Chains A and B, each alone.
Chain A
Amino acid sequence: EAGVAQSPRYKIIEKRQSVAFWCNPISGHATLYWYQQILGQGPKLLIQFQNNGVVDDSQLPKDRFSAERLKGVDSTLKIQPAKLEDSAVYLCASSPKRESTDTQYFGPGTRLTVL
């Protein structure tokens, strides 16, 4: 079974530029998560989708971050405009269904550097 796919793996941009990350979850997984992991810290949830609806985006900086999950499968996370403090690894995870104790499986992440 293929795992969670993410692209690109690395991205370097200058502040005030925009960037987008893509995630393809494990086939059949209804729930998709985006986490931000700053160097030396654990991942922090940005947004959670159940199928194509947003369940929790309370920690998403909505003035600059946006995310969508079209047709309940792939998802895109966008930052516009980027700030220096956005430098981090952006992790996508998916889990099979609605039950919160389902295991979340993570992709390899996208490492963003903002100069």
Chain B
Amino acid sequence: EDQVTQSPEALRLQEGESSSLNCSYTVSGLRGLFWYRQDPGKGPEFLFTLYSAGEEKEKERLKATLTKKESFLHITAPKPEDSATYLCAVQFWGGGTSYGKLTFGQGTILTVHP
């Protein structure tokens, strides 16, 4: 069964303290790996898509990387406004008609203290 696991479940950082979030997956053929940010009471907001091992994407203080079995979301010098739940999702080949289906991890709750 295809699975997506995120760690840690929760992360508390001081402002400026860099860290990484992990997303590991067991799928038979990755089409794409997506990172979303979700604020309380809102829907997920798209951040990045990664397609192949070795690929990296950056946006402000965030950098996403991908290997064959996991992805990391690196947060450099975070600010309190980076506090949110970060969701990882995977699309895989061989899903039949489910070619658009995203399989999500449970998310990492990030809190950045001033």
Contacts and interface: CB of A to CB of B under 8 A. Distances in A.
Interface residues of B, number: 27
Contacts, number: 73
Interface of B: 4, 31-32, 34, 36, 41-46, 49, 51, 87, 89, 91, 95, 97-102, 104-107
A40 interface: yes
A73 interface: no
Contact of A45 (B41, B44, B102, B106): B102
Contacts of A100: 31-32, 91, 95, 99-101
Q: By DSSP majority rule, is chain B's interface helix, strand, loop, or mixed? A: loop
Interface string A94-106: 0100101111111
Interface residues of A, number: 29
Interface of A: 4, 31, 33, 35, 40-45, 48, 55-56, 58, 91, 93, 95, 98, 100-109, 111
B85 to A, nearest CB: 9
Contact of B98 (A56, A101, A107): A56
